[in-house]
Amino acid sequence: MIATQVSPNRYFSYAAFSRVLSVLPALLIAINSAWAASATKGAAEIALYKGPDRQKILLEGARQEGEFILYTSQSWINNVVAKEFEKKYPFLKVSAWRADSEKLLKRVMEESTAGQLKADAVESSYAPIQVLRKEALLQEYYTPEAASYADEVKQTGKIGVYYLGDREIFYGIGFNTQLIPSTEAPKNRLDLLHPRWRGKMSIVGSSTGVRWVGNTLRVMGMEYLEKLSHQNVRLHNLSPNALTNLIIAGEVPLALTITNTNITLAKNKGAPVE
């Protein structure tokens, strides 16, 4: 999810994030505070502005600001997308800070309490974005891109949106092929109940792990989860990417919350994973 941040010390405008990888919606660009303060429109009005000179106003403000501060939970947003954004808007520097969703939310909330919100935009998973919305820390904004998004992946306001979905991540079972032959690996969640996997499975302790448990409860039911709890699944307070590295190293034989992307990239580099 990409959301816009409300700050007492900054004024914001919005511009297209150049459709990098063909998945990104509109993302805000900060306007210089001095420029915005002297403008005839306030921050909220600019955020929801639909006039024909909208893009011109946004780019003028962005040129004056010179910097766009982004908090994100995704490394490819932090690296690939930020660099492509700077290529399209060379007058604007992207200052991206990446952390897992829990740390990101903690930082934003602490900045809010201190009255020193710094981020222009927050890109993270659903849960922290929802918290920021409930805490009234997101600015409603207009973007023509919003019309292309289904209702379930955006939060609409009276005129615009508070956030849009910008990525889909597929999680599954990842394992080390030197420890577990592919022919013997579990193929579905029912296979995980076999005694051979007792004490060999891991799960991340972040919100990703919480969502996995919630999804499993919804799909498989409580009886299944109770049986799985007897398999001594290990909890790791790591990101899925960090847990993938433990699989590669052979420290974790099998994990239930591994992203398809991380495993695919590791496998393409010759890592013994599947």
User: Rounded CA gap, 140 and 185, in Å?
Assistant: 47
pTM: 0.70
Q: Please choose, from the candidates 233, 257, 261, 231, the residue with its C-alpha nearest in 3D space to the C-alpha of residue 243.
A: 257
Q: Please choose, from the candidates 213, 216, 208, 199, the residue with its C-alpha nearest in 3D space to the C-alpha of residue 237.
A: 208
pLDDT of the residue at 25: 33
What is the number of other CB atoms lying within 10 angstroms of the CB of residue 223? 8
pLDDT of the residue at 106: 94
Q: How far is CA 161 from the centre of its chain?
A: 17
**What is the CATH architecture assignment of 2-164?**
3-Layer(aba) Sandwich (3.40)
Examine domains 2-164 and 171-268 and report if their fold is the same. yes
pLDDT of the residue at 2: 63
Cβ-based burial of 29 (10 A; exposed 0-12, middle 13-18, buried ≥19): buried
pLDDT of the residue at 131: 93
Within 8 A by CB and 6+ apart from 249, the residues are none
Angle at the Cα of 172 (from 166 to 174), degrees rounded to 5? 125
pLDDT of the residue at 219: 96
Per-residue pLDDT of the chain (274 residues; tens, 9 = 90+): 666 654 433 333 223 332 222 233 334 333 333 334 334 467 788 899 999 999 999 999 999 999 999 999 887 888 888 999 999 999 999 999 998 888 999 999 999 999 999 999 999 988 899 999 999 999 999 999 999 999 989 999 999 999 999 888 888 999 999 999 999 999 999 999 999 999 999 999 887 888 899 999 999 999 999 999 999 999 999 888 889 999 999 999 999 999 888 899 999 999 999 9
Question: Using CA of residue 55, residue 60, residue 63, residue 69, what is the dihedral sign?
Answer: negative
- Mean per-residue pLDDT over the chain, rounded: 84
Cβ 97 vs Cβ 87: under 8 Å: no
Domain 171-268 homologous superfamily, CATH? Periplasmic binding protein-like II (3.40.190.10)
DSSP bridge partners of 121: 4, 70
Beta strands in 192-236 (DSSP E): 201-204, 234-236
What is the number of other CB atoms lying within 10 angstroms of the CB of residue 34? 11
* Alpha carbon distances (Å) from 147 to 51, 75, 151: 17, 27, 9
What single-letter amino acid sits at 246? L
Residue ranges covered by each domain of the chain: 2-164, 171-268
Q: Which strands, in side-by-side order, build the sheet including 154-156? A: 93-98, 67-72, 121-123, 2-4, 161-164, 154-156
Angle at the Cα of 243 (from 194 to 238), degrees rounded to 5? 115
pLDDT digits (tens, 9 = 90+) for 206-255: 878 888 999 999 999 999 999 999 999 999 998 888 899 999 999 999 99
